[in-house]
Amino acid sequence: MNSTSLRRAAGLLLAGSLSLAAVACSQADETGAAAGGKVTISVNGQPPQTQPFDRKVFDEDVAEFEAANPDIDIEPHEGFMDPKTFSAKLAGGQLEDVFYAYFTDPANLIARKQAADITDYVKDVPHYDAIRQELRDVFSKDGKVYGVPTANYSMGLLYNRALFTQAGLNPDQPPKTWDEVREAAKKITALGDGKVGFAEYSKNNQGGWHFTAWMYSVGGQVARQDGDKWVADFNNDKGREALQHLKDMRWADNTMGEKQLLVIEDVQQMMGAGQLGMYLAAPDNVPTLVNQFKGDYANYGLTGIPDGEGTLIGGEGYMLNPKATPEKIKAGLKWVQWKFLNPDRFEKNLQRYKDQGQPIGLPVPPVADVWTGDIAAKQAQLKESLATVPVANFKSYVDATPKGRIEPPNAQQVYAILDNVMQAVLTNRDADISLLLADAEAKVNPVLAQVK
């Protein structure tokens, strides 16, 4: 072999091996179905290594489930639904067989046929009928079912009991109306030293999300059905009332701090650092404040949403990959029911959390608050008997029962537009509320017109 042909051979070999590698990559991971009668299902929702306790619980559950179901093999994937990567995973064939979805997403996923129709399979899921109807509806369309809810929250008012006491407020009698919130915020801000009475989000769609909560709290809504189409429903007295209140707190009372364009992490940090009096939140914020921001359960209280005319409910559930086989769908639903919707495991789960020093008694998982009837009663009774946190601090939230309203259709797009309204009120002293609402209505209506 002379040197030219040697070089040529080496070049071709290199090219050939690279081509092969490319082909091999593109063909990876198409297997995993039935091998020896065993069904392998990939599921997401495995907590990251940075949350060792939750991770351990999840992995233990996988092992226990596999032992009880030798014909099912679970392949856990770390992480939850990330709307940013969802489509890429679906397009690349990397989407899990059983995947997590926030309440904001099922409507769009169903419309785009990105979730499997499980109507025929869900009939065999034990206790499915005992799940609250409005939560089941989130995952259903035209009488067909595309997923199951596994947890939900409703928005309330989270407050700092220590700051309440310092400001001369009674932490056992938290504000019930927006006017009372305003008065409490003034007293907390008057403590000085950078204390902020009330904080609100206004960035990354979270402003629109909380504006929706405000609207519900005063008895309004963001979108309503008009015949067979949806239209905006916030450019009215309710919308003006909500925004005027926010504007007064920001500019007339000066109780919302200087810094705006906040998102949930900013506000949690302020609350965790003991600098914030109140914010709108779901109960799952409390463990976050304690675990990530070194807070103390005794310092936080949760009460029903101010005015209480309605409250925003959200949550999560699981859906099935539209390309999953019937065997995988059956196995996937079995896992979801066993892990998340299993009244037989309530006591064991709560005890397990309690034994490891985790909080019991907060209105949050480990056992999801999605039930009606006997199961709901059984769960409440178990939680009370095993409580480890000051349950009384959260009693007024549990006792408040405003009407739960789900998020508007095409929620993320609507929220992006409403962010702007919140930003204007919070950053512009001269913001014209009526003009802002009219402008947002003109932008939201075309978005709602796309709802199928």
Q: CA dihedral in degrees (237, 239, 240, 244; nearest 10)?
A: 140
Nearer to other proteins, 105 or 369 (CB): 105
The site map against other proteins for 76-95 (x = CB under 8 A) is -------xx-xx--xx----
Number of helical (H) and strand (E) elements in the chain, helices listed first: 18, 14
Nearer to other proteins, 113 or 348 (CB): 113
**Residue 252 binding other proteins, by CB under 8 A:** no
Nearer to other proteins, 86 or 293 (CB): 86
Q: CA dihedral in degrees (256, 200, 242, 301; nearest 10)?
A: -90
Q: CA dihedral in degrees (53, 363, 199, 296; nearest 10)?
A: -50
Which one of the spans 31-39, 121-129, 146-154, 253-261 is the region binding other proteins (CB under 8 A)? Answer: 253-261
Which one of the spans 65-73, 214-222, 359-367, 408-416 is the region binding other proteins (CB under 8 A)? Answer: 408-416
Cβ atoms within 10 A of the Cβ of 111, count? 15
**Residue 423 binding other proteins, by CB under 8 A:** yes
Cβ atoms within 10 A of the Cβ of 170, count? 9
Do residues 112 and 141 make contact, with C-beta atoms less than 8 angstroms apart?
Answer: no
H or E stretch covering 229: strand 229-232
Nearer to other proteins, 154 or 189 (CB): 189
Do residues 316 and 100 make contact, with C-beta atoms less than 8 angstroms apart?
Answer: yes
**Residue 435 binding other proteins, by CB under 8 A:** no
Nearer to other proteins, 386 or 416 (CB): 416
Q: How far is the CB of 412 from other proteins (least distance, A)?
A: 5
Q: How far is the CB of 94 from other proteins (least distance, A)?
A: 11
Q: How far is the CB of 87 from other proteins (least distance, A)?
A: 5
Half-sphere exposure of 141 (CA within 13 A, CB side): 17
Distance (Å, rounded) from C-alpha 218 to C-alpha 198? 18
Cβ-based neighbours of 175, under 8 Å, separated by 6 or more: 157, 159, 181, 183, 184, 278, 303, 306
Site for other proteins in 101-160 (CB under 8 A): 108, 112-114
**Residue 268 binding other proteins, by CB under 8 A:** no
**Residue 8 binding other proteins, by CB under 8 A:** yes
Contact footprint for other proteins (CB under 8 A) = 4-5, 7-8, 10-12, 14-15, 18-19, 22, 83-84, 86-87, 90-91, 108, 112-114, 194, 202-205, 257-261, 263, 322-323, 412-413, 416, 419-420, 423-424, 426-428, 442-443, 446
